Structure 1
Amino acid sequence: MTNENTQTLLLGDVEITRVVEARAPFAAARDLVPDSGTDVWKENGDWLAPDHWQPDADLAVLALQTWVLRSGGRTVLVDTGVGNGRERPGSPLFHRRQGTFMADLEAAGVRPEEVDVVVNTHLHADHVGWNTLDAGGEWVPAFPNAQYLIPAADDAYFGPRGGYGGGVREVDRLVYEDSVAPVHRTGQAILWEGSHRIDGHLTLEAAPGHTPGSSVLRLASGTDRAVFVGDMLHSPVQVLRPSCNSCFCMDAAQAADTRRRTLARAAELGELVVPAHFGGTGAFEVREEKGRFVIGAWASGI
């Protein structure tokens, strides 16, 4: 089912539905990707605008979204956005937000009790928010029958036994307490490291750099391939210049190396690249030409 906030694509035997929580100008382009310079934006402005860049204001346009995968008879959610009613001081777009995401999810044919697996590619605020709902002052899992797959390295870093005593920002503590700790309390959290096979089509793999536990989800069904890269890419300019990190990447050298290796593999294997936040079409093909990456065809349908 499709409306203005949902689009669907079939890859092999896996159905992919994009459910958009919000789409808006997010930040100044070179605040988001600090080392990108001005030329790459201007030279590619004819296709970056308006979906990925507003040139007049020099703002990068991003989307907050969840990918719904129907695979092997199960429903899998990849990342869960910002959520409603969260205390996110310092983040005006996230703070005490009220949106229609759960209604849009149901409009896409997904009832909360039917979700089998929730994948958090990492534990930043805009990837875990709909893990939980406010039930009269208590945060409880939004998907009561789901397993929540959480990278162990991020859980260790952002959780009370790691980051709380190690200088993690106050907002990170709030995120963990309202969106991650509740799924631990109900026994629904599964921590993994290295790799984790969800089913015959879907496998999680560690891809650190953006955060210690950042991961990618690989899809292989028939001859079709895709890789959901989370926050490895915030803007298409990072495909053209993979050494350029977002301002949110925690380990710059590792993030850039992971990005280059992931793009090279996608180009070699013909994987459709599916970032978390692109404001326009949600996925694309990548090619390597003369030692540089270029964006090929954009996916139709999502």
Structure 2
Amino acid sequence: MPVSQPSTGSTAATPSWTVGDLVVHRIDEVKLPPQTGAWLLPAATPDVVGQVPWLTPSFADDEGTLHLASHSFALKVNGLRALIDTGIGNGKTRANPAWHNLDTDYLQRLIDAGFAPETVDLVILTHLHTDHVGWNTREVNGEWVPTFTNARYITSTTEWDYWAGVDLEEPRRQMFRDSIYPIRDAGLLSLVEVPRSTAAGGSGIEVAPGIRLFATPGHTPGHVAVELADAGESAVITGDLIHHPVQLPHPHITSRVDIDAPLAAATRRDLMSALVGSDVLVLGSHFPPPTAGRIAFTEHDYRLVPTPSSDVTA
């Protein structure tokens, strides 16, 4: 893949959605290269994409090329500042040329949204893949140190145990060295037991008021989605359970990097069945703008009915 080009300039206006009294901000990192979709979701061919007209123009172009992005979500709840996933990160050695030595204004965007690194209290990692943990750390005087020095970083025990028990290839070892081990060694990493559940609204674990993790295995064994709830309203941040909205009408389309692809597809179907027709807002961790929406069932399949963001100025 070609190297991604960083967004130019930062802005004080941040795309945001409300969930009750919560305001959920999308912190943009970078648009992913056009080749990403075909590589990541090989079964999502142009012919398949072309049969889903509502994907165009936001989620795909007229040629059937999928649009994907890297971003985090940030919110304040009961005075607690929380960040869900931390993107690819700047200046890191990566095997994927689209992620290698990236240079974006992500951190400034985070600050513009009112989340200066030292003010973040909680970082939730949906899973331990390179494009979800990168801003865990930043380089200072040639060393990788925690970016969010006052935060508790959380991932599931199942996720940690899986990666601790497999023979890592060198690119993944590098990711652990520069983005995971420094937060562990600083005493900032917490592992939580996340009970298995079939969908949002089932079992799980509340890690802060209004923030609940529930198990969504398949992409990785310990993958979690994040439910936000306040004042009778709720939202779900998908992580990589759903990479792209094309997987709603075609839940069988799996990712090249799913560790257990059949399980990922089954988990995805369970979640969609639980959310279809509800008012639960779905926020896609790689969905390009408009990024969020409700799941509906129309005629023969599921679709995303987009919910536009508001631009909130910190």
Q: Normalising by structure 2, what TM-score?
A: 0.87
SS at match of 2:67: strand
Q: Does 1:112 align with 2:121?
A: no
The one of 104, 108, 131 equivalent to 1:103 is: 108
Distance 1:87 1:146 in 2: 25
1:286 deviates by 0.3
TM superposition shift of 1:135: 1.5
Partner of 2:69: 63
Residue identity matched to 2:88: V
Report the Cα distance in structure 1 between the residues aligned to 2:306 and 2:15, rounded to whole angstroms.
Answer: 17
Aligned counterparts of 2:277 and 2:212: Cα–Cα separation in 1: 18
Which moved further from structure 2: 135-144 or 119-128?
Answer: 135-144
Contact 1:218/1:228, CA 8 A, preserved across alignment: yes
Q: 1:179-198 counterparts in 2 under 5 A?
A: 179-194=179-194, 195-198=204-207
Q: Work out which of the residue numbers 14, 19, 25 in structure 2 matches 1:11.
A: 19
Residue matched to 1:296: 305
Contact persistence 2:277–2:294 (CA under 8 A): no
**1:48 is matched with which residue?**
55
2:208 to 199, 208, 211: 199
Is the counterpart of residue 172 in structure 1 residue 172 in structure 2?
yes
1:37 Cα deviation from its structure 2 partner: 4.2
Cα distance in 2, alignment partners of residues 125 and 107 from structure 1: 24
The structural deviation recorded for 1:9 is 1.8
Cα distance per residue 1:91-139 (max 9 Å; x no partner): 1111011111111111111111110000110011110000011111221
Distance 2:106 2:309 in 1: 23
Taking the aligned partners of 2:13 and 2:58, their CA distance within structure 1 comes to 15
Q: Percent identity?
A: 33
State the Cα deviation string for residues 129-186 of structure 1 (Å, max 9, x = none): 0001111122111001000001222222224xx22xx2x3322111111111111111
Structure 1, gaps ≥5 residues long: none
Question: Conserved in 2, the CA contact under 8 Å of 1:150 and 1:190?
Answer: yes
Secondary structure of residue in 2 paired with 1:80: coil
Cα deviation, residue 290, structure 1 = 5.9
Q: Please provide the CA RMSD for this pair.
A: 2.0
- How far the C-alpha of 1:55 sits from its partner, in A, is 3.5
- Number of residues of Structure 1 aligned to a counterpart in Structure 2: 293
Structure 2: any 5+ residue segments left out of the alignment? 1-9, 195-203
- Residue 253 of structure 2 aligns with an amino acid whose one-letter code is C
- Take 1:154 and 1:252, find their aligned partners in 2: how far apart are those partners? 16
The alignment status of 1:213 with 2:219, answered yes or no, reads no
Aligned to 1:137: 142
Mapped partners of 2:55, 2:241: distance in 1: 18
